[in-house]
Amino acid sequence: MKKRVAILISGRGSNMRALIEAAKAKDFPAGIVLVLSNVPNAGGLDFARRHGIETEVIEHKKFPSREIFDNAMDVALNRANAEIVCLAGFMRLLSPRFVEKWRGRMINIHPSLLPAYKGLHTHSRAIEAGEKFAGCTVHFVTAELDDGPTILQAKVPVLPGDTEDALSARVLEQEHKIYPQALRLVAEGKAKI
Ligand code: GAR
């Protein structure tokens, strides 16, 4: 049985797209059953709809607190019978209770070689610091931001004269490779907390 996966997005959803494409393969151990966005016009929503995947928008702004917003997401995830949650450019902090509930079943992709460069603007910070390498990490989500056990990482060189855009494109190409691979490992029970 394929594991039922929900993807949480806030924007263009290119990692979401990579997961949806990968999950089309017969032998992929997971299927995408829901794409949930906290932003109504997130670019990724259209792609998901066109691929016949159920989408739902839950606008964080409409909720009085983080906990209540997270609870609404939890209800949607349970309604879809989601077993694994993939954060794919989901730009909201999550409450400890929600994180704890999905512990070991929620994964995230971050555009740096964690534990280096948690947070935002990872590429410009890496360039400014004169790093020779940058990359991306898929990890289990724990209470601390951009923390939690690593599942897979990919490394790319930082090239002379790199701009933020050039580096982020180089890293993104790797994100699209390792996220489906990491989801496979989790769905097969080969990576766990
Ligand atoms: C990706 O680069 C992802 O790694 C990053 O946001 C981008 C979303 O792009 N995530 C984070 O920074 C999370 N801390 P996408 O919407 O095209 O997948």
Which CATH number characterizes residue 149's domain? 3.40.50.170
| CB contact at 8 A, 88 and 138 | no
- Catalytic residue at 110? yes
Q: What is the pLDDT of residue 12?
A: 97
Q: Whose CA is nearest to atom 13 of ligand 1?
A: 110
Among 10, 12, 15, the mutation site with the greatest number of ligand 1 atoms within 8 A of its Cβ is: 15
Catalytic site residue from 51, 60, 110, 121: 110
Q: Which atom of ligand 1 has the smallest separation from the CA of 11?
A: 16
Closest CA to 136 of 170, 112, 166: 112
Report CA(11)–ligand 1 centroid distance (Å). Answer: 8
pLDDT at residue 179, rounded to an integer: 99
For 115, the 3-state DSSP assignment is coil
Distance 69 CA to ligand 1 centre (A): 21
Coil, helix or strand for 86?
A: strand
193 within domain boundaries: no
Measured in residues, the chain has a length of 193
Contacting residues for 57 by C-beta, under 8 A, at least 6 apart? 36, 37, 38, 39, 40, 42, 45
Q: How many domains does the chain have?
A: 1
Q: Kindly list the strands in the beta sheet with 3-9, ordered across the sheet, starting from the edge strand earlier in the chain.
A: 55-57, 30-37, 3-9, 84-87, 106-110, 133-140, 150-157
pLDDT value, residue 5: 99
Percentages helix, strand, coil for the chain (3-state, rounded to 5) are 35, 20, 40
What are the per-10-residue average pLDDT scores of the chain (193 residues)? 98 98 98 98 97 98 98 98 98 96 98 98 98 98 94 98 98 98 98 95
pLDDT averaged over every residue in the chain: 98
Query: Ligand 1: distance of its center to the CA of 26 in Å?
Result: 27
pLDDT of residue 83: 98
Q: Which domain holds residue 145?
A: 3-187
* Confidence (pLDDT) at 150: 98
pLDDT per position as a tens digit, 92-126: 999 999 999 999 999 999 999 999 999 999 999 99
Distance separating alpha carbons of residues 31 and 188, to the nearest angstrom: 12
Domain presence at residue 46: yes
- Is 8 inside any structural domain? yes
pLDDT at 128 (0 to 100): 98
Q: Is residue 192 part of a domain?
A: no
d(CA 97, ligand 1 centre) in Å:
23
Determine, yes or no, domain membership for 82.
Answer: yes
39 in a domain, yes or no?
yes
In this prediction, residue 77 carries a pLDDT of 98
Pick left, alpha or beta for residue 117 (phi over 0 → left; psi -120 to 50 → alpha; otherwise beta). left
In this prediction the pTM is 0.98
Report the atom number in ligand 1 closest to the C-alpha of 109.
4
Q: For position 131, what pLDDT does the model report?
A: 98
What per-residue confidence (pLDDT) applies to 57? 98
**Tell me, what's the pLDDT at 105?**
98
Ligand 1: which atom is nearest the Cα of residue 145? 14
* 11, part of any domain: yes
